[in-house]
């Protein structure tokens, strides 16, 4: 299984309206595929502005494709476009982090809450590197995972 890298980038789109996020994600995926990127999964665009759209994208890619992904994003920013969408070329950030995607967090009690002094189980399901580790905290202190209670 190839090592996966969580890659993210950020650009400002001038002509992008908040309703155009899906189109932009589709165009970004197409650009990345044109650079012979081996695998792209969980591509997501996030916006947090109403007058312009700040695009932050996150996706998983094979570690060996890192330079090709950087080249594709740099080329996009230099061209100033993602498909029909205009980018502000002087604002660009690219980051590569160890992968972690939290898929599910569950508690074996009703959603109404857990009563004090009652037992419960918290579990999580995540996608990512085989090297990732989790640490649980209760009231700001690390929970010893080898013990049932703290």
pLDDT of residue 2: 39
**85 and 27 in a common domain:** yes
Mean pLDDT along residues 17-42? 73
The 10s digit of each residue's pLDDT in 32-55 is 778 887 666 666 666 555 555 556
Q: Say yes or no: 88 and 107 in one domain.
A: no
User: Residue 101 in contact with residue 127, Cβ under 8 Å?
Assistant: yes
Residue 5 confidence (pLDDT) above 60: no
Average pLDDT over residues 80-104: 68
Contact 124, 105 (CB under 8 A): yes
Same domain? For 43 and 113 the reply is no
Same domain, 77 and 112: no
Residues 60 and 133 in one domain: no
Average pLDDT over the chain reads: 70
Does 148 score more than 60 pLDDT? Answer: no
50 shares a domain with 21? yes
**Is residue 149 one of the residues assigned to a domain?**
no
**Alpha carbon 17 to chain centroid distance?**
21
Which percentage of the chain shows pLDDT scores above 90? 0
Q: How many structural domains compose the chain?
A: 2
Query: Does one domain contain both 26 and 88?
Result: yes
d(CA 115, CA 45): 39
pLDDT band of 72, cuts 50, 70, 90: confident
Residue 148, in any domain of the structure: no
The reply to whether 72 and 15 lie within a common domain is yes
Q: What pLDDT sits at residue 138?
A: 81
Structure confidence at residue 11 as a pLDDT band (50, 70, 90): low
CATH number at residue 23: 3.30.70.260
Tokens 């599910």 sit on residue = 104
pLDDT cut 70: percent of the chain above it: 55
My answer on whether 59 and 14 are in the same domain is yes
Task: Determine the structural domain holding residue 111 and report its residue range.
Answer: 100-142
Minimal CA–CA distance to 72: which of 39, 30, 114?
30
Residues 85 and 109 in one domain: no
Alpha carbon distance 68, 37 (integer Å): 7
């Amino acid at each position: 299984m190839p090592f996966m890298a969580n890659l993210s980038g950020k650009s400002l789109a001038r002509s992008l309206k908040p309703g155009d996020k899906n189109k932009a994600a589709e165009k970004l995926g197409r650009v990345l595929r044109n650079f012979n990127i081996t695998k792209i999964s969980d591509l997501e665009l996030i916006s947090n502005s109403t007058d312009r759209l700040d695009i932050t994208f996150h996706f998983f890619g094979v570690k060996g494709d890192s330079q090709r992904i950087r080249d594709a994003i740099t080329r996009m920013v230099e061209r100033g476009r993602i498909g029909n969408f205009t980018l502000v070329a002087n604002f660009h950030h690219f980051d590569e982090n160890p992968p972690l995607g939290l898929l599910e967090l569950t508690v074996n009690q009703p959603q109404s809450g857990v009563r004090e002094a009652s037992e419960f189980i918290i579990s999580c399901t995540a996608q990512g590197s085989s090297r990732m580790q989790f640490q649980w905290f209760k009231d700001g202190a690390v929970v010893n995972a080898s013990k049932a209670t703290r």
